[in-house]
Structure 1
Amino acid sequence: MAVLVDDLKKKVLENTKESDQVIIITGYFSPDMIDEIAQIGIPFVYYYGMYGMDKIAKPVYDKLVSINNNYRNLNLKFVHTQRVHTKCYLFYKNNKLVNALVGSANCSINGLCSIENSEMLIELNEEELKSNAYLLELDEYAKEIEKIAIDISDPMIIPKTIKKLKTHKKKSKEKVPDSGNPLSAIMPLYQVDKKGKKKTYKAGGPNWGNQNGNVATKQDAMEAYIPILTEHLDKYPLLFQPYPANRLTTGGKVTRKSDPVTVIWDDGEMMTMTFQGSQRAYPSKENPLMVYPKQLSYGDDSTRRGGAVLGKYLRKRMNVDPFHVITITDLKKYGRDYILLTYVSPGLYTADFSGTPLS
């Protein structure tokens, strides 16, 4: 058996390209990973295993339907009678199961692009084990899952509606309005001065690229990030979790970023992002084994565009120049001075920047 703990996405894509059919069963997913596999063009069936337990948020469902409609070779199914937390990737050739990957990694950017040893997939095939008995068992398992799954177009699939945002009155020392939902955080794009007046960051937040000595001189827009305050860490522990203080990328370089996550915006835009930076060391500053993130920004390192992708996106939504320094006046004119970030499932979030002001 081959035990894989690194470059899992690459292994999944390589196996897909060498097959003529693929079946994937995982508890959770991210739409961008499903889209990338479907682009290869071979028949692809994906089973969302935790629908029966966790259902599906409407923004995620809408994105999946859009992707499903784009590919004739794609068939999305939801397990609805029980929870299935399996992570199983099955690769076929001439109707015969020839290779399989099983382990801990979900079919998501977060699951397949995590740092080394965060997730594991074990490769099982005839060449590895000199026996095909386990392959037949895995094939039977996939058929059992088929019996308890329904198609994405089935009327029994009912997306969860997002509850209307109800903001609670802030306590005197609080800087962040309470969303009323432990899985949804209001992320201000401004800071509050000592007099309680709102002002945008001169060289941070949406204006990150405005700092002196900024090295991203070849970007096509000003870099941006979504600030994470210590107040967010206290109020929303499920959204903002710590990660190791000392981390290495899959290439062995030191990084201050978390594993990538997928964020679906309210307009359908899908973005790979990472939690970045550090604040509030655990268990102590002197012995920082874990740290909490201090910002969220674009995080697909392969593009080398960093926070400029987020900066360009936000400015396009606001209808201002890609290098415009955003002010409070701009945010008021747009109609919203915050982003509503919601946790959906491991490695998957939604973000609302719809221009609707707080009531």
Structure 2
Amino acid sequence: MEIYSSLMGDNLAELVLHSPYPKGDRAGQELWAVTGYISPTAVLRALYQVKYAPTKRSGDAAGWGELSNFRPGRRTPKIHILVGMARDGAVSITTHEIFKKWVKASNGYIDVRYPDPRLSPLVHTKLYAWAQNGSFDIAYAGSANLSTDGLNIGRDASECQQENILVPVSVEYAKKYIDTLFDASLSCADPVVDSLFTFPEAPSDILANKSLPPVPPLPEPKSEREERLKDFPSVNLYLYSRQGKKSSSYNGAGINWGLRPNRSNKDEAYFGVPARVGVSNFFPLKNTPFTVYCDDGAELLMRVASGWRRSGKDMSTIHNGDLGTYIRKRMGLKPGTKVGIRELLDYGRTYVTITRTSEGNYYLDFSPETAEPDEFALQAPEIVNEFSHEDD
């Protein structure tokens, strides 16, 4: 029996998310997936049958993720997904709402379901099967979730964050198993779901603090945010320039990219990614989309792009105007307002903290409540000059 492994160099995402049928003969193709946990971007990868997101200048970029302008093509498969651990924290309230919108906007091409708690236990199975015109032709089962790290999306074997395997299985048994699970499931868009399920503000791999010892008993957390994993790798990305020993506000770069004279959207923005982070494997290969959950419950579809590094040097939303809009709204600023060090200090935080989770999703913290003092920002000439003028 063949065994496909991320660590051994097998491309699990290519194996199960890309159509096995010839390009000229893909009518009626369907992907059936049973997964414990999920990354929304993995679903988009299968739907669009591409490795990467559209380029920033592509007309498709604005709707990529929202499916606002979705039009199925000859190669577009119908996708049926059962998220087996949905009621155990695998799906956040924001992701649930996104799935509902996708189901509605996809014209029947996306079907996301959860096990009906009245009929089915939690499901931790990982199973993928391709069918054409109702006939199942190939199936794999194993340990890989339909998630960025589960399928090692955007990384090679040397950068594998989570070793998983998939093995071919009988298509007859796969179909029978899928039929059994799906018959005992509910569409995410079914109104009864909201009365049967309680969705957290973020997925459980962000909220569950597995690194803490079981004894002594832990105090009751004040909020879900305090339950986040502390041992996941994280980086701070600053919203102003920190060149050498000098600090200054961005002028036509970074968070203020859209303020350049040649930009039509004044909210276009990106986070600069330091070289030491760019050459690491903290982020997946550049232009690979990934999901970012925010501390306020928002959810962003992002990617790192530009530059020669494997992970690029600029991190932004797929439609990069969304990032600037989000940051300015958090800060209480009007659209298109310049975000300088003074505005950041007044807000109470000069950087975002990005944490990578166990399923390859990411968490963005921009809350003033969790910010550390930034003495470097206070030493910026523009801030020091403010105080010198006050003395005059």
In structure 1, the partner of 2:135 is 96
Per the TM alignment, residue 271 of structure 1 is displaced from its structure 2 partner at its CA by: 1.9
Is 1:309 aligned to residue 345 of structure 2? no
1:187 and 1:227 in contact (8 A); partners too: no
Q: What is the deviation of 1:38?
A: 2.6
2:377 is matched with none
For residues 94-152 of structure 1, give each alpha carbon's deviation from its aligned partner in whole angstroms, at most 9, with x where no partner exists. 3221101222221122222254272222234xxxxxxxxx3211111111211332110
2:105 corresponds in structure 1 to: 70
Distance 1:301 1:88 in 2: 37
Q: Tell me: CA distance 1:156–1:315, structure 2 relative to 1, closer, same or farther (3 Å).
A: closer
Whole-angstrom CA distance in 1 between matches of 2:149 and 2:356:
13
SS in 2 for 1:109: coil
Task: Give runs of aligned pairs for residues 232-247 of structure 1, distance below 5 A.
Answer: none
- 2:224 and 2:140 map into 1 onto residues whose CA distance is 40
Matches within 5 A, 1:310-325: 310=316, 314-315=323-324, 317-318=326-327
Q: 1:32 corresponds to which residue?
A: 41
Q: Please tell me whether residue 105 in structure 1 is matched to residue 136 in structure 2.
A: no
The alignment status of 1:348 with 2:354, answered yes or no, reads: no
Q: CA deviation at 1:48?
A: 0.2
Q: Residue in 1 aligned with 2:301?
A: 270
Q: Per the alignment, do residues 180 and 34 of structure 1 end up closer, same or farther by CA in structure 2, a change over 3 Å counting?
A: closer
RMSD, matched Cα: 4.6
- Post-superposition shift, 1:335? 6.6
Matched, 1:54 2:89: yes
More strand by share: 1
The alpha-carbon deviation at position 226 of structure 1 amounts to 9.0
Please list, as runs of the form range in 1=range in 2, the aligned pairs for 1:125-204 lying within 5 A after superposition: 134-154=170-190, 155-157=192-194, 158-162=197-201, 181-183=226-228, 202-203=242-243
CA distance in structure 1 between the aligned counterparts of 2:14 and 2:312, rounded to whole angstroms: 22
Say which SS state the counterpart of residue 291 (structure 2) adopts. strand
Counterparts of 1:338 and 1:145 in 2: how far apart (Å)?
44
Asked if the contact 2:273/2:314 (under 8 Å) is kept, the reply is no
CA contact (8 A) 1:221 1:308 kept: no
Match of 1:224 among 258, 262, 272: 272
CA-to-aligned-CA distance 1:225-247 (integer Å, 9 cap, x gap): 4999xxxxxxxxxxxxxxxxxxx
Match of 1:239 in 2: none
Taking the aligned partners of 1:64 and 1:303, their CA distance within structure 2 comes to 33
Q: Deviations over 1:52-89 (max 9, x none)?
A: 33252112222222322221211110124322111111
Q: Using the alignment, how far apart are the partners of 1:259 and 1:342 within structure 2?
A: 10
Partner of 2:123: 84
After superposition, the C-alpha distances for 1:292-315 in whole angstroms (9 at most, x for unaligned) are xxxxxx379999772313396655
- Measured in 1, the distance between the counterparts of 2:291 and 2:342 equals 30
Q: TM-score, normalised by structure 2?
A: 0.53
Structure 2: distance between partners of 1:200 and 1:75 = 42
Check whether the contact 2:131–2:138 (CA below 8 A) recurs between aligned residues: yes
User: TM-score, normalised to structure 1's length?
Assistant: 0.58
Name the aligned partner's letter for residue 99 of structure 1.
I
What's the secondary structure of 2:19's corresponding residue?
Answer: helix
For structure 1, list consecutive stretches of 5 or more residues without a partner in the other structure: 125-133, 164-177, 191-198, 211-219, 229-253, 273-297
Cα distance change, pair 189–330 in 1 and its aligned pair in 2 (3 A): farther
The equivalent of 1:122 in structure 2 is 167
Which piece of structure 1 moves more, 71-80 or 254-263?
254-263
Closer, same or farther: CA 302–346 of 1 in aligned 2, 3 Å = farther
Contact 2:291 2:299 in 1 (8 A): no
What secondary structure does 2:91 align onto? coil
The yes-or-no answer on 1:330 pairing with 2:343 is: yes
1:256 equivalent in structure 2 = 280
SS in 2 for 1:15: coil
Q: Does 1:45 align with 2:59?
A: no
Q: Is the 8 A contact 2:352 2:364 kept in 1?
A: yes
Q: CA deviation at 1:44?
A: 1.6
% of aligned pairs identical? Answer: 21
Separation in 2, partners of 1:305, 1:151: 36
Match of 1:7 in 2: 11
Q: Cα offset for 1:32?
A: 1.2
For these two proteins, the number of residue pairs brought into alignment is 264
Amino acid at match of 1:57: S
- Aligned residue for 2:167, secondary structure, equals strand
CA distance in 2, matches of 1:225, 1:325: 20
Cα 1:52–1:223 change in 2 (3 A) is closer
Q: 2:208 is matched with which residue? A: none
Aligned equivalents of 1:28, 1:144: Cα separation in 2: 19
- Contact map agreement 1:57 1:344 (CA 8 A) in 2: no
